[in-house]
Chain A
Amino acid sequence: MCCSHELTEKDLAPITANPIFLEKIKGMRFFDPHVHMTSRTTDDYQAMADAGVVAIIEPAFWLGQPRTGVDTFRDYFNSLIGWERFRSSQFGIKHYCTIGLNSKEANNERLAEQVMEILPLFIYKEGVVGVGEIGFDDQTPAEDKYYRAQLELAKEAMLPVQIHTPHRDKKKGTQRSMDIAIEHGLDPRMIIVDHNNEETVKEVLDRGFWAAFTIYPFTKMGNERMVEIVKQYGSERIMINSAADWGISDPLAVPKTAALMLERGISIKDIELVCYQNAIDAFAQSGQINVSEFDTVKEIDQNLKYNGSSVLRGGQQPRVDKNATIIR
């Protein structure tokens, strides 16, 4: 809504019914394999849980402001396997992460060397399902160097790799990322190439890699375009994510796109593959995803806190009625 629109009483009334998209996808389960929850509020967790998101992957990324010391990387990695994971569990969402040195900050070589030293402390941790997100931003020599070093690390740890493809010169950057991965002897099936578009998808799929799409307003994919891509390429090795972060983005992008796909005639089976199962299959190659945990995370606090006592207290977050004027 903007300036040309006259506000009416109706616009100001609180929304009481569920949005239509939620009704459509009721009962479906979603896996968002790329979302930066560090930058989001707990309200987003609640909305995601309500929309059927049962598990997420949070890739290590650039926080929007360059870091000046290795300790802030350490604390960030720690938060991905600690606080953020706990915060997620409070909403019954299973939280995984990928750990890596992002491409932008690979350009600070002094720091990058120190980060490479601490990465082995983190990539073997429980719930770390890959090395990521790594790859190219500016496509500089330093980015090339640390991308290669991290591919070697992933190979040694037998972990999937989550590749960030550049915003600028995307097509070439994507090709180059794949070439280098092959050069280092990685199996394309262990590599998830992220942020694809109409220009990159065919080659990524043809070469046997996983193709991930980021539904992100203005700069990446829109979900209407996404529907067309699934219509054209099918559902094999394709997955979608929100990559929601500190920018204008939408943590409900996966469930919303599922609703749109349903509306536009894509089969339930294909929707399930693209919005849930493919991401699990790709990242479960880490040996770190156990689907039964999507259910147990809903009671995990209980189990861990009260040693099997059947009573839930102080565990999951109490519900708050967002539409109420009264805050208690």
Chain B
Amino acid sequence: MDYVYDKERMSALLYQIVAQQAGDKAELWLRQKAEVWQQSGALQQFNLTFSAIPRFIGKNQIIIDSTQEAALKAIVPGFSVQGWPADRVARAWWLLQLPVADKTAYVKQLETLFDAAEMNELAALYGALPLLAFPEEWTLRTAEGIRSNIGTVQEAIMLNNPYPALYLSEAAWNQLVMKAIFTDKQIGRIIGLDERANAALAAVLTDYAHERWAAGRTVNPMLWRLVGPFVNETSFSDIKRVWNSENTIEREAAALACAQTTYAPAIELLRERPALKAEIDADVLNWNLLSEKLN
């Protein structure tokens, strides 16, 4: 399967967004480049345009309205370009202009772009993962990107990107979440965070919390969101430690973790603070709100 979504509609919509926000001159340049590319099919032309996009499109932040946002998500669930720099949106659109008839050639061309990409190009390529054809082909590349030390590149993969949750193996997924926490990302913006929570990840994260505590460092309270559903005898002592914290947000995180499990002692613990439990039941305390308080 090449594209797993309606590529033509996505392409049209992205083009419309770029045209609207980057101005007439930029739109004209992009249109001309597309015409030249369609006629010549010369890969060097394709690569040069991909590199030159920021010079002509600029980097203004793209703000889309709720209709456009909903339209994007209707085509590719979870995908949005809200807040992207204009050049990144234009690059995502440009990638959709590559022919997919020959899978080997398509994959090779994408790999060439990755191999010679500068920092912003890397972020554009990884941000466009949910739009690429042959989605199963990019899992190793994604895992490689997670190893990057460049913050913008990590975030293009980790945050607001629906691709990893759909296609990464459990080990690669766990590495993504672990690294996001380790590098202090807003993990509430990882798509599929709760759906792909798993016992192995919970175990890694509690070990990580122990290391942090041993070093006298703080632990991101959001971490307990991923431990909550898998609380067991061992990790329950950690939850209790957080439950007794002097920090309000940490106590709330412990309460939320307890509300995620059927582990009896945790349910029992939550009853000790009926006010917190009531807030959770009424949904005035949840992980999203906690995440906002943190940032």
Residues on A close to B: CB < 8 A? 74, 77-78, 81-83, 85-86, 90, 118, 120-122, 124-127, 287-288, 301, 303-309, 311, 313-315, 328
Question: Contacts A125-B51, A126-B55, A314-B183; is A83 near B85 (CB within 8 Å)?
Answer: no
Q: Does B186 contact A (CB under 8 A)?
A: yes
Q: Are B115 and A74 in touch, CB under 8 angstroms? A: yes
Residues facing A in B271-295 (CB within 8 A) are 295
Question: Can you list the 8 inter-chain pairs with the closest CB atoms, starting with the nearest?
Answer: A307-B83, A81-B118, A314-B184, A86-B150, A121-B116, A304-B152, A125-B118, A124-B51
Nearest B residue to A303 via CB reads: B61
0/1 interface trace, chain B 127-157, chain A, CB 8 Å (1 if under): 0000000000000000000000111100100
Task: Give the chain A neighbours of B295 by CB distance below 8 A.
Answer: 309, 311, 313
Closest A residue to B122 by beta carbon equals A82
Residue of A nearest to B152 (CB): A304
Residue in contact with B116 in the complex, picked from A78, A301, A307, CB distance below 8 Å: A78
Complex Cα spacing A83 to B44, Å: 25
Query: B48 in the interface, Cβ–Cβ < 8 Å?
Result: yes
Could you pull out 10 A-B pairs where Cβ atoms are within 8 angstroms?
A: A81-B118, A85-B119, A121-B47, A121-B116, A122-B116, A287-B55, A305-B185, A306-B186, A311-B295, A313-B295
Closest to A126 in B: B54
Tell me the complex Cα distance, A121–B151, Å: 24
Question: Are the C-beta atoms of A126 and B47 separated by less than 8 Å?
Answer: no
Whether A86 touches B55, Cβ cut-off 8 Å, given contacts A78-B116, A303-B61, A307-B84, is no
Judge whether B166 is part of the interface by a CB distance below 8 angstroms: no
Q: B10: shortest Cβ distance to chain A, in Å? A: 20
How many residues on chain B are close to A (CB under 8 Å)? 34
Given A82-B150, A86-B150, A126-B120 contact (CB < 8 Å) = yes
**Closest Cβ–Cβ distance, residue A260 to chain B (whole Å):** 35
Taken residue by residue from 44 to 81, chain B's Cβ proximity to chain A (1 for < 8 Å, 0 otherwise) reads as 10011001101100000100000000000000000000
Task: Say yes or no: B151 contacts A82, CB within 8 Å.
Answer: no
- A313-B52 Cα distance, complex, nearest whole Å: 31
- B160-184 interface (Cβ within 8 A of A): 160, 183-184
Residues of chain A contacted by B51 (CB below 8 angstroms): 124-126
- In Å, the complex CA distance between A306 and B291 comes to 13
Chain B's nearest CB lies how many Å from the CB of A153?
A: 14
Residues of the A chain whose Cβ atoms lie less than 8 Å from the Cβ of B52: 124
Nearest A residue to B80 via CB reads A307
A85 to B47, CA, bound (A): 21
In the assembled complex, which residues on chain A have CB atoms less than 8 Å from the CB atom of B95?
A: none
The CA of A286 and the CA of B85, in the complex, are separated in Å by: 22
Pick from B47, B84, B117, B186: contact of A82, CB below 8 A. Answer: B117
Chain A residue with minimal CB distance to B180? Answer: A314
Distance in angstroms from B15 CB to nearest chain A CB is 21
Known: A126-B120, A314-B185. A305 touches B152 (CB 8 A): yes
Instruction: Give Cα A287–Cα B151 distance, bound, in whole angstroms.
Output: 26
Please, which residues of chain B bring their CB within 8 A of the CB of A303?
A: 61, 85
Say how far A299's CB is from chain B's closest CB, in angstroms.
12
Residues of chain B with a CB closer than 8 A to A288's CB: 55
Kindly provide the distance from the CB of B80 to the nearest chain A CB, expressed in whole angstroms. Answer: 10
**Assembly CA distance A125 to B51 (angstroms):** 6
Interface centre among B117, B119, B152 (most CB of A within 10 A): B119
Q: How far is the CA of A313 from the CA of B222 in the complex (A)?
A: 15
Q: Does residue B109 face the partner (Cβ distance < 8 Å to A)? A: no
- Other 17 A-B pairs with CB < 8 A, given A74-B115, A127-B118: A77-B116, A78-B116, A81-B118, A82-B117, A82-B118, A82-B122, A83-B149, A85-B118, A86-B152, A124-B48, A124-B52, A125-B121, A126-B120, A287-B55, A305-B159, A307-B82, A314-B183
Q: How far is the CA of A74 from the CA of B112 in the complex (A)?
A: 12
- Provide the residues of chain B in CB contact with A124, threshold 8 Å: 48, 51-52
CA A263 to CA B41, docked complex, whole Å: 61
In the complex, what's the smallest C-beta–C-beta distance from B277 to chain A, in angstroms? Answer: 30
A115–B184 Cα distance when bound, in Å, is: 39
Bound-complex Cα distance A29 to B137 (A):
47
Question: Which residues of B lie under 8 Å from residue A301 when comparing CB positions?
Answer: 151-152
Chain B residues with CB under 8 A of A305: 151-152, 155, 159, 185
Q: How far is the CA of A81 from the CA of B116 in the complex (A)?
A: 9
Q: Which residues of B lie under 8 Å from residue A306 when comparing CB positions?
A: 186
User: Chain B residues with Cβ under 8 A from A125's Cβ?
Assistant: 51, 118, 121
Partner of B149 from the list A85, A86, A314 (CB cut-off 8 Å) is A86
Is there a chain A Cβ closer than 8 Å to B123's Cβ?
yes
CA distance A313 to B181 in the complex (A): 12
Q: Which of A307, A309, A315 contacts B151 (CB 8 A)?
A: A315
Contacting residues, chain A, for B184 (C-beta < 8 A): 313-314
Q: How far apart sit A304 and B122, CA to CA, in the bound complex (Å)?
A: 13
Point out which of A78, A85, A126, A127 has the most chain B C-beta atoms below 10 A from its C-beta.
A126
Contacts of B183 in A (CB 8 A): 314
For A127, A288, A306, the residue with the greatest tally of chain B CB atoms inside 10 Å of its CB is A306
Residue of A nearest to B116 (CB): A121
A83 to B119, CA, bound (A): 7
Interface residues of B in 184-207 (CB under 8 A from A): 184-186
A14 to B149, CA, bound (A): 33
Of chain A, the residue at the smallest CB distance from B155 is: A305
